[in-house]
Amino acid sequence: MKYNKAVKIIAVLCVLAGSTADAITVDEAIEKLMTHKFGQNNQVLNYLRESALRSHADPALRKKLNEGLALILESDAPYDAKQFASRQLALTATSEHIPVLAKHLTDEKMGHMALYVLTHIDSPQVDKALLKALDKAAGRPKLGIINMLGNRRCPAAVTPLHKLVGSPDTQLAAGAIKALGRIGTDPARSILQKALATGNHPAGDVLPEACLQCADRLLEKSQKDKAARLYEAVFNSPSPAHIRAAALKGLTDVLGDQAGPFIDQSLKSDKKDLYGMAVVIVRSVPEKKTAETMAAVLRDLRPDVQVLLIKALAERNDRAALNIIKDICQSDSVAVRCAALSALGKIGDQSAIALLINHAARDLDRERTAALQSLAALTGQNINPVLTRILPASSNPWKAVICRALLQRNAVEAAPALVKAARNDDPSVRTEALKALRSLASKSEIPSMVDLIFVVAPEQADQVGRALAAVAHRNSVHKMCTENILSKLNQAQNDEQRVALLMTLGGLGHDLALPVLRSALNDNSSQIRYAAIKALSAWPNADAAEDLLKVVRATANPTHRVLALRGYIDLIDAAALTTPQKLQCYLQAMQLAHHDAQRKKVLSVLAALDTPEAFRMAMSLLDNPSLKNEAALAACVIAQKIYTSEGRQIKADMEKIAQADVADSTKQQAQQILRNISKVKFYVMDWEVSGPYTRKGSNFSALFDIPFAPEIDSGKDAKWRKMPTGQDPAQPWYLDLLKALNGGHQRVAYLRTELQWPSDQQVKLWIGSDDGNKVWVNGKLVNANNIARGFTPDQDSAKVTLKKGSNTIMMKITQNNLPWGASLRIEEP
């Protein structure tokens, strides 16, 4: 019989519990529950839970279920069963269940579960049951009842709770006091206020805290006078400052804008809790009048409190204190002035512009920064027009400030005015105007900006060129800008202007300018040739490389030669060439170099490469006494990038640098790399990565079992690329997939490596992964852990046998949420 019942249950639950048919009845499930112990009867529990949910729309089922659950509580079923029944009743119980629940109220274990249900039954009978049990209960159950009486605000509990206030059990006494506060009736207030006045109460903050709760309740019930008296009693009591501060908050809630004297008193207090609460009140109180009243006393406060109050007034955003804050910008205290200037950014308007500009033009760093930030933050549709309008007629220091403000305000409409400002004779105004134009000018301003080159002092033409390049880049109008400059080349009246135009063409880097620049290399003027070399040195691709090499080889001017070679090196450094191509170019540059300075320049860019060949080129110069420092440094920089895969090959060279007569910092760097090489000894560091792989609707856990390209047909369609490693010196062996694959979650990736092993040998793989992993060795799955977890090394292990020669290890790493990564190390027996 029991066997058949179990079969029925399983059958039903297999088609989703209770959703279609009831092969098990509630009675049968309840019978099963009678003997339930934690860890058993999952199917029955699921069925009953489902029944409780379904019964929301099925009164007959609800009745049946509730009867059964009550039966469990009435029975001698174990706690485990009764707890389960109580959990369902928390959702379904009615006032009918109060008697059966009340029987458990005094029980040490079940007392809580009874309250767990009773708390949800909205009936005065609950209060009666609690009061009845209060006398009989002891210990934790009694305290639980006291707490619930308080939470239910049971007026009838005041008298029995009052008796407990004097209990020698301090926990019970404190619980009773708290409960009285929560009940918050007038009799409760009377008891609490009297105790507060007499000082007849347990130690600590329990009583004043309960008084506050009681006053809060009275206020909720609109008994404002009584609430105010209680708050005031606490505020004036010898309680700790944070309690008195809470009373101040209550006084403000009940008195509104009449609470000014209390706030005033608190602002002038030396207790940080009190003046802290006062500024919080000023910040958050809805009445603007209260804020205005408090702002009026601002000048009477200590500077540190002034700062707090100014910040509070600023956060209100209602301009309650705008005029006072403008006035106090003249305070003797720098901190107060800065706070006031910052506040104006939030609550200021057009009327604050002049004041802010004035302070922003001063020499004091903090003040200038605060004023400038506020100018940038001022809100209002008329701020930008006002700034633009006053720009031409302002003094030069003001003009510089206005240009900066317009830039920070992203005032693109001010660009024409800024072009005019850039014609100013004052270098600081011109510099600020050009800086602003870089971000604000549109293509419409380009012709007039090119014209600036013919206006500004020769030494500032490069600033114009820089701004033009930025505008062209931002608006993607390199061609238009280049054409405009080319059309005006013949308007140049002196070499300085021609130089500026050529330099700007270099900055723009458009092909249209190449013939002009090449031609300029042969100009009669040395100055023009110099400019052409500089412009070509800045070219965005390798097209100008050959031109520069020709200069290096042909020019008789040593300055031009140095410049061209340096430009060539820079150009190759920035060009999108392959590493071998770059290395070839650097070898060529090294051969053409006449001076050590030029060779050092080559070494500086060589360090950006990440191949053993580049490393060897750097090492080849280590024995040159005048280049050894730079060579060692370049070698170390390259080594840092390749040691994870080339550790064995570069170790001897690193040891050589560590012993060499080079800078201490370089030697330390070499020693650190040697330590890193040692650290990664047992970790597999040389990996390829494939992925990420996702599938719509599948999370990381489902993806774990979905094969993607690397798992299918021996991975013939999978695309692999090198996995960056060793980027974090603290854990160079961590394979950071999050960084490598640009973030994301609910996805998987694969890592693969070829491992050469000297002989057939059983080893242990130690795997760390965030989140889950599968690991294959030579195509055989050796570890599978579908899990969501954070990373630590060595979370999983697997014994495997590596064969002599080449072994393929592949890992699949799932990603739930950030971060995402793995590590694998090999332990030999």
Partner 1 sequence: MHEKILTRRTFLKSAAASLTVPYVITSSALGAGPKPPASERIVMGCIGLGGQGTAGMGWRSAGPEVPNTSWVPKGGFMARGVHVVAVCDVNKNNLKRAKFIVDQEYGNNDCTPYKHYQELLARQDIDIIICATGDRWHTPISIAAAKAGKDVYCEKPISLTVYEARELARAFKRYGRIFQTGTQQRSAREFRFACELVRNGYIGELKHVTVNVGGPPSVCNLPAQGSPPDWLDYDIWLGQAPWRPFHPRILGWMAWRDYSGGEMTNWGAHHFDVAQWGTGFEDSGPVEIIPPDGKDFKVLTYKYPNGVTMTRNSTCNGVKFEGTKGWVEVNRGYLRTNPDSLLRQKIGPNEIHLHLSNDHHNDFLNAVRNRTRPACDADIGYRSISVCHLGNIAYWLKRPLKWDPANEKFKNDPEADRTLWRQMRSPYTI
184 touching partner 1, by CB under 8 A: no
Which residue, 312 or 418, is less far from partner 1 as judged by CB? 312
Rounded-to-integer distance, Cα 743 and Cα 614, Å:
31
The pair of three-digit structure tokens given for residue 623, joined into one six-digit string: 């024995």
Cβ closest to partner 1, residue 260 vs residue 507: 507
Give the nearer residue to partner 1 in terms of CB position, either 383 or 403: 383
Residue type for position 210: A
Of 311, 319, 443, 488, the residue at the interface with partner 1 (CB under 8 A) is 311
Number of residues that bind partner 1 (CB under 8 A): 115
Should residue 90 be labelled a site residue for partner 1 when binding is judged by CB under 8 A?
yes
Q: Which of 65, 243, 621, 633 binds partner 1 (CB under 8 A)?
A: 243
Does residue 386 bind partner 1 (CB under 8 A)? no
Q: Select the residue interacting with partner 1 from 456, 503, 548, 569 (CB under 8 A).
A: 503
For the segment 511-570, give every residue that binds partner 1 (CB under 8 A). Answer: 527, 530-531, 534-535, 537-540, 570
281 binds partner 1 (CB under 8 A): yes
Beta strands in 616-687 (DSSP E): none
Contact mark string toward partner 1, 799..818, x via CB under 8 A:
-----------------xxx
Is residue 96 a contact point for partner 1 (CB under 8 A)?
Answer: no
Please state the closest distance from residue 143 (CB atom) to partner 1, in A.
5
Q: Which stretch binds partner 1 (CB under 8 A): 104-112, 162-170, 386-394, 681-689?
A: 104-112
CB of 280 to partner 1, least distance (A): 4
Question: What is the distance between the alpha carbons of residues 738 and 741, in angstroms, rounded to a whole number?
Answer: 6
Cα distances (Å, whole numbers) of residue 828 to 446, 680, 755, 757, 762: 69, 15, 14, 11, 8
Helix (H, G, I), strand (E, B) or coil at 814: strand
Single residue of 69, 143, 344, 360 touching partner 1 by CB under 8 A:
143
User: In three state form, how does the secondary structure of 194-249 look?
Assistant: HHHHHCCCCCCCHHHHHHHHHHHHHHHCCCHHHHHHHHHHHHCCCCCHHHHHHHHH
Please identify, among the stretches 254-262, 515-523, 691-699, 706-714, the one whose residues bind partner 1 according to the rule CB under 8 A: 691-699
HEC profile of 372-396 = HHHHHHCCCCCHHHHHHHHCCCCCH
Q: Binding to partner 1 by residue 81, rule CB under 8 A?
A: no
Cis amide leading into 692 (omega within 30): yes
Whether residue 208 is preceded by a cis peptide bond, meaning omega within 30 degrees of 0, is no
Q: Does 40 engage in binding with partner 1 (CB under 8 A)?
A: yes
Which window, 188-196, 402-410, 680-688, 719-727, contacts partner 1 (CB under 8 A)?
402-410
CB contact set of 732 (below 8 Å; sequence gap of 6+): 644, 676, 679, 680, 683, 685, 725, 726
- Does residue 265 interact with partner 1 by CB under 8 A? no
Give me the amino acid identity at 563. L
Q: How far apart are the C-alpha atoms of 199 and 205, rounded to whole Å? A: 12
Contact 788, 796 (CB under 8 A): no
Residue 379 engages partner 1 in binding (rule: CB under 8 A): yes
Contact indicator for 812, 711 with CB cutoff of 8 Å: yes
Residue 506 within binding range of partner 1, rule CB under 8 A: yes
Show contacts with partner 1 in window 213-242 (CB under 8 A). Answer: 216, 240-242
Could you tell me how many helices (H) and strands (E) the chain has, helices first? 42, 10
Check residue 466 for interaction with partner 1 (CB under 8 A): yes
Q: How far is the CB of 652 from partner 1 (least distance, A)?
A: 27
Which of 77, 85, 133, 245 binds partner 1 (CB under 8 A)? It is 245
Residues 629-648 that bind partner 1 (CB under 8 A): none
Which residue in this structure is represented by tokens 């605000």? Answer: 153
Using the contact rule CB under 8 A, the part of the chain among 40-48, 156-164, 446-454, 801-809 near partner 1 is 40-48
Q: Is 351 in the site for partner 1 (CB under 8 A)?
A: no
| 656 belongs to the binding site for partner 1 (CB under 8 A) | no
Q: Of 269-277, 348-356, 630-638, 659-667, which segment contacts partner 1 by CB under 8 A?
A: 269-277
The region of 36-44, 323-331, 441-449, 514-522 touching partner 1 under the rule CB under 8 A is 36-44
For residues 710 to 739, the per-residue mask of contacts with partner 1, x marking binding by CB under 8 A and - elsewhere, is: --------------------xx--x---x-
Q: Show the binding pattern over residues 435-464: x = contacts partner 1 (CB under 8 A), - = does not.
A: ---xx-------------------x--x--
507 near partner 1, rule: CB under 8 A: yes
In 3D space, the residue among 315, 320, 343 whose CA is nearest the CA of residue 331 turns out to be 343
| 59 CB neighbour count, 10 Å cutoff | 9
Burial class (CB in 10 A: 0-12, 13-18, 19+), 623: exposed
Contact between 287 and 259 under an 8 Å Cβ cutoff? The reply is: no
Quick one: tokens of 329? 């910008």
The reply on whether position 473 binds partner 1 by CB under 8 A is yes
Q: Is residue 465 a contact residue for partner 1 (CB under 8 A)?
A: yes
Residue 601 engages partner 1 in binding (rule: CB under 8 A): no
113: contact with partner 1 by CB under 8 A = yes
Contact at 8 Å (CB) between 297 and 275? Answer: no
SS3 of 476-526: CCHHHHHHHHHHHHHHCCCHHHHHHHHHHHHHHCCHHHHHHHHHHCCCCCH
Residues 6+ apart with CB under 8 A from 650: 612, 615, 639, 642, 643, 677
Indicate which single residue of 200, 351, 395, 792 sits in contact with partner 1 (rule: CB under 8 A): 792
CB closer to partner 1 out of 485 and 621: 485
Q: Interface with partner 1 includes 209 (CB under 8 A)?
A: yes
Which listed residue (229, 268, 745, 764) binds partner 1 by CB under 8 A?
A: 745
Q: With the CA atoms of 28, 29, 32 and 35 taken in that order, what torsion angle do they form, in degrees rounded to the nearest 10?
A: -130
Interface with partner 1 includes 788 (CB under 8 A)? yes
By the rule CB under 8 A, 120 interacts with partner 1: yes
